[in-house]
Chain A
Amino acid sequence: MSEEARVQKDFTNAPLCLSGKGVTKIFGFGNRRTVAVDHVDFEFHEGEFVSIVGESGSGKTTLSKMLLGLSNATEGEIFFQGKPRDISSGKKKREYWKGIQAIFQDPFSSFNTFQKIDTVLLDCIHMRGGKNLSKQEKFDMMTEACHFVNLEFRELTNKYPFELSGGQMQRLMIARIFLLKPKILLADEPTSMVDACSRATILDMLLNLRDEIGMTIIFITHDIGLAYYISDTVYIMEHGKFVEYGKADEVILNPKAAYTKRLISDVPKIHEEWDLSTVDLKAE
């Protein structure tokens, strides 16, 4: 990972990309009522690398589903580029999904095992309105996208996803995003199921994507060390609420909430650079 990634810009004055007010998700009712996401407010700016950090069950994935428009919020409203988001019909949803895309946690279950890789990439070109392009143009686009993620399209064509390794599949996912060029990329723990080596490559590619296309990346993770390392802004989530948020440096080097401190103390100290034990955890 390049050192430049650690340079954090100030995004407070950048135009809003995605924001929410009082977003809530409740599953079930009566005795079995579970509040998964509890009145959260957030503001993601254009070009910002945001991390949402929390442990399992804190509501990260539920929030991401709502952000993607795959499930509806029980309460509250989400704004896309400053305007209230409208995903009431299938057509409007498809329009919205041109602006927001996702990478999921498990690369093995993210692909339809009955479809060839070509189909997956062609779908992306078609979605961007490239239906009438010539075969050669489409081929070039796919080759370019694969090249961006260090894959050779010539070797992948006519293969099925299950013939690739987990790291290759996740990179193919990024190639998909490269073709789609959305405003926002929501990455739901994209590195938790791949090995450490692929992890660094994938993170690097995400940062490249951000710089090249200028998209907002919402990075969902349980690893606060990772979040500190790559993100501009960090949101700490506990029991469906944001307990703390702000610039990565401020939040992690100077944590206020007890939960954040606990998360930081849980980071394994493998590498000197990643060692956060120097942080004064007692500061209030």
Chain B
Amino acid sequence: MKNTLRQVFHSSKFVGGFTIFVLILLTMIIYPLFNPGNPLQQIGVGTFAKPGTYVNLYDATKAPTETFRLEDAAEKRMANSLSEEDKVAMVEWFTAVEADISDLDTSDTDKMLEMWEQYYDPTVKPKGMIRAKINYYKRLDNALKELGSGDTVIIADKDETGALVETKKILDTDYVNTNAVANVKSLPLGTDNFGRDVLKELVSATGTSIRIGLIAGIVATLIGLTLGLLAGYVGGFLDDFIMFITNIFTVIPGFVLLILISYSLGQEQRGAAVVATVIGFTSWTWTCRSVRSQVISLRNRDHVNLSKLSGHSLFRIVLTDILPYIASYVVMAFILQVSSGILSEAQLSLLGLGPKTTEVPTLGLMMNWAMLYSAHTNGSWWAYFPVILTITLISFSLNLMNTGLDQVFNPTLRD
């Protein structure tokens, strides 16, 4: 036993998969300690806030300032305020006035502005350009000029008479230490369509999904193992009967069955545990079939006969003379069942038949929400891409562990 474990942990594939899985589990446990609270709390009013650190503007204006003279500050400011659309429009203007744009690099804002100064003339009306477009360029030109002028922002309060009184002037060389700002919110993965912190939600969803996978795996392995052991060891009519049921379950596509059961349960009945159990109930057939065939090859071995001759009961023979011999196989089947359970939940939730949406986030539900609110078409990659990556990592690590175990227990696969 100890030897086998040592062998297992010498398999690089198993160790690789195991490490990834343990890292995911650790994140799941440790992250909520640093960022406690309900993962489904809607912190944002808008939808799909971009990933990044958010500094409270109100607090920032009140924070003490330092003055720095940084050379590239103005340049960066310009680059930041010049949107992609503006850049595209500028290139369009250059083309319209027949400027040389062969070596133009749109990411080089300095060069773009230089060219703009050179080629833009409000009096020129390029052929075929509509009035609205010409006005747009005028506005753009004004905005660009303003950016370069180094204006100050003035903060004013109303006094008793209602007149505005200047209270503070913000210069373009003023800097605020983020530590001095009372409210800074870091959102590494932005917010989703309901304005929830995606990272927090993702960590919680990973936990739920792994739990669903484990429950599904345990249910499937228990049913498959019990029926497989009975069918294989007892044989005869019981074997025929169990195999008849197993074949029926095998012939009906499991996923269709899963959809039908989930649908008929109804939204209210579908908690995470219920969905997991349903997944387990539809995926035990392969475990049952393979356990049965293994047991059939074991039941006529001499050590089983000897155990019978020693007067052991059926239960004891199955438990001590058969189960240990197929244990490695069952563990491998279990790992695969967990992996496929997580994937099944994701598929089911993507169709809107997953656990009810108000209680806990799951990986599948997060993808479902992202899809419903068109995150994939409006470019909000942070709402679905990390989820896909997590699912992939989990099932990759589980499958890697399985392959590693297979190589240890199946000598023909050893390299």
Q: Do A and B come from one complex?
A: yes
Tell me the smallest distance from the CB of A111 to a CB of chain B, in Å. Answer: 6
Among B302, B311, B314, B324, the residue within 8 A (CB) of A110 is: B302
User: Taking chain B's interface residues, is the majority helix, strand, or loop, or is none over half, making it mixed?
Assistant: helix
Partner of A112, one of B303, B309, B311, B313: B303
Contact of B305 with A70 in the complex, beta carbons under 8 Å: yes
Q: Which residues of A contact B314 (CB under 8 A)?
A: 90
Q: Are the C-beta atoms of B305 and A124 separated by less than 8 Å?
A: no
B97-127 interface (Cβ within 8 A of A): none
Tell me the complex Cα distance, A18–B311, Å.
20
- In angstroms, Cα B312 to Cα A97, docked, is 11
Pick from A68, A90, A98, A111: contact of B303, CB under 8 Å: A111
Contact A102 B313 (CB under 8 A): no
Are A114 and B324 within 8 A (Cβ)? yes
Interface residue B310 (Cβ < 8 Å from any Cβ of A): yes
A88 within 8 Å of B by Cβ?
no
Contact B309 A68 (CB under 8 A): yes
Closest to A114 in B: B324
In chain B, residues 205-234, which have Cβ atoms closer than 8 Å to a Cβ of chain A?
none
Beyond A102-B305, A110-B303, A112-B303, is A124–B320 a contact (Cβ under 8 Å)? Answer: no
A127 an interface residue at 8 Å Cβ cutoff?
Answer: yes
Docked complex Cα distance between A93 and B302 (Å):
18
Beta-carbon contacts under 8 Å, B288-309 to A? 301-303, 305-309
B183 to chain A, nearest CB (A): 62
Q: Within 8 Å CB of B307, what residues of A?
A: 112
Contact at A110–B320, with CB atoms within 8 Å?
no
Contact A104-B324, Cβ < 8 Å, known A90-B313, A97-B311, A127-B311: no
Which chain A residues lie closer than 8 Å to B325 at the CB level? 114
A106 located at the interface, meaning its Cβ lies under 8 Å from any Cβ of chain B in the complex: yes
Q: In the complex, what residues of A have CB within 8 A of residue B301's CB?
A: 109
Interface residues of B, count at CB 8 A: 17
CA distance A115 to B320 in the complex (A): 8
Separation of A111 and B314 alpha carbons in the complex (Å)? 17
> For A112, what are the chain B residues with a Cβ–Cβ distance below 8 Å?
303, 306-307, 320-321, 324
- When each residue 315-350 of chain B gets 1 if its CB lies under 8 Å from chain A and 0 otherwise, what string results? 000001100110000000000000000000000000
* Shortest Cβ distance from residue B294 to the other chain A in the assembled complex, whole angstroms: 15
With a cutoff of 8 Å between Cβ atoms, the chain B residues found around residue A159 in the complex are: none
Contact digits for A95-126, partner B, Cβ 8 Å, 1 yes 0 no: 00110011011100111111100000001100
Q: Which residues of B contact A94 (CB under 8 A)?
A: 311
Q: Are B320 and A104 in contact (CB under 8 A)?
A: no
A111 touches B306 (CB 8 A): yes
- Note all chain B residues with C-beta closer than 8 A to A106: 302
Q: Once bound together, how far apart are the Cα atoms of A198 and B290, in whole Å?
A: 40
Q: Which of A90, A97, A109, A111 contacts B309 (CB 8 A)?
A: A97
- Whether A124 lies near B310 (C-beta < 8 A) is yes
Complex Cα–Cα for A127 and B307 (A): 11
Alpha-carbon distance between A3 and B354 when the two chains are bound, in angstroms = 81
A179 to B286: give the CA distance in the assembly, Å.
43
Across the interface, which residues of B come within 8 angstroms of A97, CB to CB?
308-311
Query: Please, which residue of chain B has its CB at the minimum distance from the CB of A182?
Result: B309
Q: Closest residue to A173 on the B side, CB-wise?
A: B306
A69, chain B: closest CB distance, angstroms: 9
A68 contacts across to B, CB distance below 8 A:
305, 309
User: What are 11 A-B contacts with C-beta separation under 8 Å?
Assistant: A70-B305, A90-B314, A97-B309, A97-B310, A105-B302, A109-B302, A111-B303, A112-B324, A113-B303, A114-B320, A115-B320
Closest 6 CB pairs of A and B: A114-B324, A94-B311, A104-B302, A110-B302, A112-B303, A123-B310
15 further contact pairs, Cβ within 8 A, besides A97-B310, A102-B305, A114-B324? A68-B309, A70-B305, A94-B311, A98-B311, A104-B305, A105-B302, A106-B302, A109-B303, A110-B303, A110-B306, A111-B303, A112-B303, A112-B307, A112-B324, A114-B320
